[in-house]
A and B are shown apart, each in its own frame.
Chain A
């Protein structure tokens, strides 16, 4: 019936073998083994004359909508022979993009935005170039905490281009309606969280839709100072900060307070972090704790707003959130000199090109940059004038960096989930204990 030519049968078998072989080869083949040196060539430095090069920059800020075009244009003007190939990705995609692209060893991107608390992880993974030789001498140009954020195991891995802090904003109309006195703008007369809780409840009872809000609900960035104010740790201890440390009495107390805010309805459950600024700007909340970036939005709104320093727990030590973005260099970059020039221009030159030329005011990490920042028009309003000294004081005196650990990503993910659970009603101690066990498991891989 079926006459199978010898050739066809052999061909079929050969085809099958070839297919499997191809599969094995293809799956093992990676595109990046092009013989470039493994850890990048050391011994480069910031040159005195500009090389001619094109560097690829990976950011989380859109060129148009985040007004980065003006910054890039200014750089091109100052350094015409270095071309910038700029690309932005969504914040959530940044880490995996960096992982994938840098691991390709193709040198793309040359420079990338690095979230400060993740810098240790980046360094440990081999995804950042050692900048100590080139940039350690510029240390005193920066606010100490901002600079330290880029240091891991005594080496510099990233340069800060921005900083942040948190302030207490209040809606004067809603406070008047509830008969609450305005908080003082002086850092010596800081409110306590306990007092704020009472006042926010009063404002809500008098008709405010929300008593108080946080700029970033359930995020470690926002909530880290709470236990620290009470004397607790930033969240991890031990050799290399790889032992979870957030189940202490101080942590439980701080987060019981946090959970109670929502249980009592003073602050809303279910509101996403992105929704809180619009809510305050629309005049629906009596208080919010948010960064300086709220000020321009308030300037354009109808809210009669006031400003005060971030509160502290009764008997606690004033502590504020801090930190923002830095720039790091790809160790496989083929244009390290040009990349270094860009990084220096962005963070140091003239107070930081990023600060000077971007129309959206951004708190600088450098001392000179801060002067430029405080001259921006948003600080010329009566409340703005009060805000400037608060910001200056907090960034220099009360800022505490987030925990520096190579396991930061797991830390933040698991802990943020615990915060969300506490906000939704979980018992603080249980949630923190569970998170601690989860994190210990996740961190096993670093042993």
Chain B
């Protein structure tokens, strides 16, 4: 144990050193719960999933597993259904995330205008966010029933009843609509904050330059909104990548596999089929993709800290 030489040091330096040690001690105490939680809640399952994924076992978990290295990953990537699932998940996210953020942005822009009772309309858009996703899925499932109210509305307007969740061509789109209804209000609020933080003088300068609304929007609003916009885009991607509840409650991956997204597939492989090891491999793949997006999100968040 190293001990500092005490004899010839000035008092101030000693106090500094004691101060540092004092801080280090309390830092450890205060950080231990969070770090312990981190280890237990993130590190351990990730390590566990990786270990499980390199073994192969008879479903069920009693018969001991055998080491298989990359065997499970090979099985997964040579299974056309799994490759389809990954592609489907990627395409799904490529569509839903820009769509939701663009809509949220439009709504945000709308609701920062001077409109009577704007707070009320804003709150109405936010209401779906407060409804628990289970309830929303149940209600939308009822509404989208081929004999349900949405088809009734379509018929009344002169259109044809649609199969919605029972059609492989429409089911995923329905889930996109449902997820958007639930989530857009949330992202809209973030963007409203961002819009409200844009300094007035920029808009005044634009007015002086006689810039029209579109020019103002694309040359001032969007650039100033870049950080919150990117943050919201990545956060939304993270949430949508692990979308699970609507698939679990409404379609179970069908019809004809058209709504089988990666998170649901991992769940079904592990709990439906009892293939823990294959499921663990899917989880590892999912987690790697997630970590990438989270790192991205954090990068963007951190840039917030630089003072302006």
The answer to whether A and B touch in the complex, with CB atoms under 8 Å apart, is yes
List the interface of chain A (C-beta within 8 A of B).
2-8, 11, 19-20, 22-24, 26-28, 95-96, 99-100, 102-103, 105, 121-122, 124-127, 268-270, 409-410, 413, 417, 420-421, 424-426, 431, 434, 438, 441-442, 444-446
Task: Give the 8 A-B residue pairs with the shortest CB-CB distance, closest first.
Answer: A125-B60, A103-B61, A6-B2, A27-B48, A126-B62, A424-B166, A270-B146, A96-B271
Interface string of B255-282 (1 = CB under 8 A from A): 1110000000000100111110010000
A26-B44 in contact given A270-B145, A417-B252, A445-B278 (Cβ < 8 Å): yes
Query: In whole Å, how far is A431's beta carbon from the nearest beta carbon of chain B?
Result: 7
Instruction: Report the separation of the CA atoms of residues A442 and B273 in the bound assembly, to the nearest whole angstrom.
Output: 9
Contacts of B273 in A (CB 8 A): 409-410, 413, 442
Query: In whole Å, how far is B299's beta carbon from the nearest beta carbon of chain A?
Result: 23
B254:A270 contact, CB within 8 angstroms? no
Interface residue? B219 (CB, 8 A) = no
Contacts of B61 in A (CB 8 A): 99-100, 103, 125
Query: In whole Å, how far is B49's beta carbon from the nearest beta carbon of chain A?
Result: 9
A27:B51 contact, CB within 8 angstroms? yes
- A-B contact list, 14 entries, CB within 8 Å: A3-B20, A5-B24, A27-B44, A95-B274, A99-B60, A122-B60, A125-B59, A125-B274, A126-B63, A270-B147, A410-B273, A413-B272, A425-B167, A445-B275
Interface residue? B4 (CB, 8 A) = yes
Contacts of A446 in B (CB 8 A): 58
Instruction: Report the separation of the CA atoms of residues A333 and B257 in the bound assembly, to the nearest whole angstrom.
Output: 40
A421:B16 contact, CB within 8 angstroms? no
Interface residue? B149 (CB, 8 A) = no
Query: In whole Å, how far is B153's beta carbon from the nearest beta carbon of chain A?
Result: 16
Interface string of B274-304 (1 = CB under 8 A from A): 1100100000000000000000000000000
A268:B39 contact, CB within 8 angstroms? no
Can you add 19 more A-B contacts, CB < 8 Å, to A26-B44, A95-B271, A424-B255?
A3-B17, A5-B2, A8-B21, A20-B43, A23-B39, A28-B51, A96-B274, A102-B62, A105-B62, A125-B63, A126-B63, A127-B60, A269-B166, A270-B166, A409-B59, A421-B254, A425-B167, A434-B256, A445-B278
A124:B58 contact, CB within 8 angstroms? yes
What residue of chain A has the Cβ atom nearest to residue B78's Cβ?
A441
Contact of A3 among B1, B16, B146, B254 (CB under 8 A): B16
Instruction: Report the separation of the CA atoms of residues A95 and B268 in the bound assembly, to the nearest whole angstrom.
Output: 12
Interface residue? B154 (CB, 8 A) = no
Query: In whole Å, how far is B162's beta carbon from the nearest beta carbon of chain A?
Result: 11
A125-B58 in contact given A27-B51, A99-B274 (Cβ < 8 Å): yes
Interface residues of B in 219-257 (CB under 8 A from A): 252-257
Instruction: Report the separation of the CA atoms of residues A5 and B51 in the bound assembly, to the nearest whole angstrom.
Output: 37
A5:B4 contact, CB within 8 angstroms? yes
What residue of chain B has the Cβ atom nearest to residue A446's Cβ?
B58
Contacts of B16 in A (CB 8 A): 3
Instruction: Report the separation of the CA atoms of residues A95 and B272 in the bound assembly, to the nearest whole angstrom.
Output: 8
Contacts of A96 in B (CB 8 A): 271, 274
Query: In whole Å, how far is A185's beta carbon from the nearest beta carbon of chain B?
Result: 33
Instruction: Report the separation of the CA atoms of residues A8 and B167 in the bound assembly, to the nearest whole angstrom.
Output: 63
B146:A269 contact, CB within 8 angstroms? yes
B35:A19 contact, CB within 8 angstroms? yes
Interface residue? B98 (CB, 8 A) = no
Interface residue? B47 (CB, 8 A) = yes
What residue of chain B has the Cβ atom nearest to residue A418's Cβ?
B256
Query: In whole Å, how far is B185's beta carbon from the nearest beta carbon of chain A?
Result: 29
Query: In whole Å, how far is A53's beta carbon from the nearest beta carbon of chain B?
Result: 23
Query: In whole Å, how far is A101's beta carbon from the nearest beta carbon of chain B?
Result: 10
What residue of chain B has the Cβ atom nearest to residue A102's Cβ?
B62
Contacts of B51 in A (CB 8 A): 27-28
A409-B166 in contact given A103-B60, A125-B62 (Cβ < 8 Å): no
